[in-house]
Structure 1
């Protein structure tokens, strides 16, 4: 092992959203000597191959939809050329690269030392870092944070699966696939399928069961599944895949599968995208050297304060497998920085993981906070639950025919005589922006009466949430 090259109060392994937030809070607020180590691009999944480039692509898809919808409002809009995927992709890459630079400058401004390299735990206070040029350094730290995130899972038992790409590879595509197959029913598969379809790709979506987004409220599952079929996405339900073949001359793929209609072969695919889950990035981290406990799927086990079972070693974000959302990692990171290095009033600081809002940038958008209806009934009992629902046509679609109108559907789940709201689920245009404000109310313990006492904003879709009967 190389000799000790530097020492610090706090060593953060992982330069994603959670790790950077924690490092900056410890250093800039409380003066802890902090070092951050990252082996890839700063910003982690969200900035590089997740939230940011995904939402930019979502905006492109929204323009395609708006061009189509404009005709209903009297605009004679003609698309004179296909969507320029390549130019768009390069502009998106350039924006992400600028964000990488901003992340590095923020670390510098907050006096966090940044090392580009791969970290390997030697002891609970020492980490060996392999630098880009192959040299090794050893850093001694009083406290260590593991925030290495995760990466997309690939199938291991399907011959030819390697011919497909994962969600990271989506952002490397130089040309728009004319014909694409996606495997998965979670938010990544749903988002990518919606975007590709809106931009004009022939889109096939393979799911294991009958509905998309199976961890969401049944209302969301049923409506988004039906809507995707209406929009022209070809759903293969109750499906499994047995083999992938590649034509070495044309590069086209052939997917062998079984679904609810029987066995089949999908030919002439430009792209096959696997969106079947994510794996914690712990390989080579050296957890076994210090005895850090992990779960069945490799996630690092932590308590409510982000403590691992090893004193002085902490973990947060996707590597822990609990609510894998960027704002969750950031919030947990800031709380941990305050608890470890802040004044006495922060000694019990931690993130409350209850009632955290989340959105799916599907077509249409989905927003959710709190419990689904089945989970609420299981937790509180049927006799304690009251559900309010509203399905309507948003004013945006007033000028369109029935076959062109997207769905809007809202649900409130209330508990007890006071009708405290324990679940809110919305599906329709603008759901992401609508949810942020209502999320604050629910986090504060809002009741149905509180919603009723708020004067509605008219005409909006959101007013339905404060006028439900």
Structure 2
């Protein structure tokens, strides 16, 4: 699919933030036609980071992964699954709801896809309103100041700029060593645009994408299995990750742990026969599924950009672009932001913030750099997991076990009580320095609306909140988030951390 590209003529004299171009990838060789167009700034990539950088000074945006095949459709399908649970609980609250509850994939998919399309259309209208010249092309570098863009018909355009920002993001990775993986498997780029239900699904991977997809598929009533080679949610707090898995298992998601697929074969029934190896037993096993979803990581969109022609250096192991604190690459006037940059969180909000700050620096409005510490995030599994700051493992590794205090609690959300829903995995931990004033190093929240809870506390942690200050904060009653400001039992004490009473 061709990338979205927009541009405005460069201003004369002082550089202004209204000049931008959005491109991604390459469509092969072609001769340039119509001469060369020059700009102050080209932004290569139509996703969150590129848009934030380009639109600084205007009010428009395109989509990229987040809008089209990521955050937006994911959250909407997650909401569909949550609604199913609420409907099943409704009779406890007096609602006379027919059982069993049934879900229609086609209806949900159409609604989600229509919303995404409306966002796409709105972006195009805004481009036109701001008199932004729009290209729908893929690009590759010709030299350090010039990009060759080629459209679907093979027509080429040369674009040159004083500054270039690469924000091409990444795409889901296929396991090329598994026979049949590419022919018969799909990725998160596909699941949100399926017209029909995926049916019995095998999700391969242990990332947040894998668990989120498996979670909403189970939640809408599909037979779902997750195949994990190793531990889940690598890079997150591992106690919290284990609780996420426990909750998913207790609510119907099946797990094949320590297993690696080796072969996918399509049967005459159109089902997929998956063969895998169980590393624990050393045995081979197989089963049939309607859909196999790969969620084993992402690769940066850098391989077709001809970065070597511009002199931009990448990490040879993962092909990500090496950047400094200014987001600058090995070529001072070429920058990289978002998922494509080495050592950056693969999160939409960090790409957006980095893009805005970069644009402000380029136009001389600010010298502020992006701060990648204490970035909050949420994993939208059926029981949501929100976190900000250090995991318990990271805190211990950095400061030593004797200098870390962890306050924690198991709690039961009020909304779980009437329906008597299991709250075994609803858990909060606050990781602090042990020495007064006990600076908060990290907060981890597992429960309903975790994103909303974590966002608020993230500000305090960003501002250097201490445990004492959190304890001085008055809770909003009755809410789940008030349990954070009531944490008083430390792991070190060995006392039972389950909240009782109101």
Aligned-pair CA distance for 1:366: 0.6
Aligned-pair CA distance for 1:169: 1.3
Out of 90, 97, 102, the position equivalent to 1:70 is 90
Aligned-pair CA distance for 1:204: 0.6
Aligned-pair CA distance for 1:171: 1.6
Number of aligned residue pairs: give it.
Answer: 452
Counterpart mapping for 1:33-52 below 5 A: 42-52=62-72
Distance 1:464 1:405, change over 3 A: closer
Out of 451, 462, 466, the position equivalent to 2:481 is 462
Provide the rounded CA distance (Å) in 2 between the counterparts of 1:279 and 1:389.
37
Report the 3-state secondary structure (helix = DSSP H, G, I; strand = E; otherwise coil) of the residue aligned with 2:32. Answer: coil
In the alignment, what sits opposite 2:105?
85
Provide the rounded CA distance (Å) in 1 between the counterparts of 2:164 and 2:132.
14
Are 1:370 and 1:422, in contact at CA under 8 Å, matched by a contact in 2?
A: yes
In the alignment, what sits opposite 2:233?
213
Q: Greater CA deviation, 269-278 or 102-111? A: 102-111
Provide the rounded CA distance (Å) in 1 between the counterparts of 2:445 and 2:130.
39
In the alignment, what sits opposite 2:191?
170
Provide the rounded CA distance (Å) in 2 between the counterparts of 1:118 and 1:111.
21
**Tell me, which stretches of 5 or more residues in structure 1 are unaligned?**
30-35
Does residue 1:23 correspond to 2:54, yes or no? yes
Name the structure with the higher helix share.
1
Does residue 1:148 correspond to 2:150, yes or no? no
Are 1:24 and 1:107, in contact at CA under 8 Å, matched by a contact in 2?
A: no
Report the 3-state secondary structure (helix = DSSP H, G, I; strand = E; otherwise coil) of the residue aligned with 2:136. Answer: strand
Aligned-pair CA distance for 1:201: 0.6
Distance 1:132 1:186, change over 3 A: same
User: What do residues 339-371 of structure 1 show as CA deviations (whole Å, max 9, x unaligned)?
Assistant: 00133xx1x222100000000100100100000
Does residue 1:337 correspond to 2:359, yes or no? yes
Does residue 1:129 correspond to 2:149, yes or no? yes
Q: Greater CA deviation, 153-162 or 218-227? A: 218-227
In the alignment, what sits opposite 1:282?
302
Provide the rounded CA distance (Å) in 1 between the counterparts of 2:126 and 2:369.
24
Distance 1:110 1:350, change over 3 A: farther
User: What do residues 297-335 of structure 1 show as CA deviations (whole Å, max 9, x unaligned)?
Assistant: 001111111100012101101111510111111100000
Are 2:274 and 2:288, in contact at CA under 8 Å, matched by a contact in 1?
A: no
Aligned-pair CA distance for 1:181: 0.5
Provide the rounded CA distance (Å) in 2 between the counterparts of 1:88 and 1:186.
24
- Regions of 4+ moved over 6 Å: none
Does residue 1:2 correspond to 2:32, yes or no? yes
Does residue 1:365 correspond to 2:384, yes or no? yes
Aligned-pair CA distance for 1:212: 2.2
Provide the rounded CA distance (Å) in 1 between the counterparts of 2:245 and 2:77.
21
Does residue 1:185 correspond to 2:184, yes or no? no
Q: Greater CA deviation, 59-68 or 260-269? A: 260-269
Distance 1:59 1:125, change over 3 A: same
Report the 3-state secondary structure (helix = DSSP H, G, I; strand = E; otherwise coil) of the residue aligned with 2:201. Answer: strand
Counterpart mapping for 1:241-252 below 5 A: 241-247=261-267, 249-252=268-271
In the alignment, what sits opposite 2:497?
none
Aligned-pair CA distance for 1:282: 1.2
Distance 1:448 1:124, change over 3 A: same
In the alignment, what sits opposite 2:312?
292
User: What do residues 157-183 of structure 1 show as CA deviations (whole Å, max 9, x unaligned)?
Assistant: 111112111111112322213311001
In the alignment, what sits opposite 2:245?
225
Q: Greater CA deviation, 81-90 or 187-196? A: 81-90
Are 1:20 and 1:107, in contact at CA under 8 Å, matched by a contact in 2?
A: no
Report the 3-state secondary structure (helix = DSSP H, G, I; strand = E; otherwise coil) of the residue aligned with 2:303. Answer: coil
User: What do residues 196-228 of structure 1 show as CA deviations (whole Å, max 9, x unaligned)?
Assistant: 00111111111112x421321122112111111
Provide the rounded CA distance (Å) in 2 between the counterparts of 1:48 and 1:302.
27
In the alignment, what sits opposite 1:33?
none
Report the 3-state secondary structure (helix = DSSP H, G, I; strand = E; otherwise coil) of the residue aligned with 2:163. Answer: strand
Distance 1:7 1:166, change over 3 A: same
Out of 73, 88, 97, the position equivalent to 1:53 is 73
Provide the rounded CA distance (Å) in 2 between the counterparts of 1:159 and 1:10.
43
Provide the rounded CA distance (Å) in 2 between the counterparts of 1:236 and 1:215.
21
**Tell me, which stretches of 5 or more residues in structure 2 are unaligned?**
1-30, 489-502
Aligned-pair CA distance for 1:275: 0.3
Out of 346, 353, 364, the position equivalent to 1:324 is 346
In the alignment, what sits opposite 1:399?
418
Provide the rounded CA distance (Å) in 1 between the counterparts of 2:58 and 2:185.
43
Are 1:18 and 1:147, in contact at CA under 8 Å, matched by a contact in 2?
A: yes
Are 1:24 and 1:110, in contact at CA under 8 Å, matched by a contact in 2?
A: no
Distance 1:264 1:67, change over 3 A: farther
User: What do residues 252-295 of structure 1 show as CA deviations (whole Å, max 9, x unaligned)?
Assistant: 00111123466454433110001000000112211011221111
Distance 1:407 1:72, change over 3 A: farther
In the alignment, what sits opposite 1:32?
none
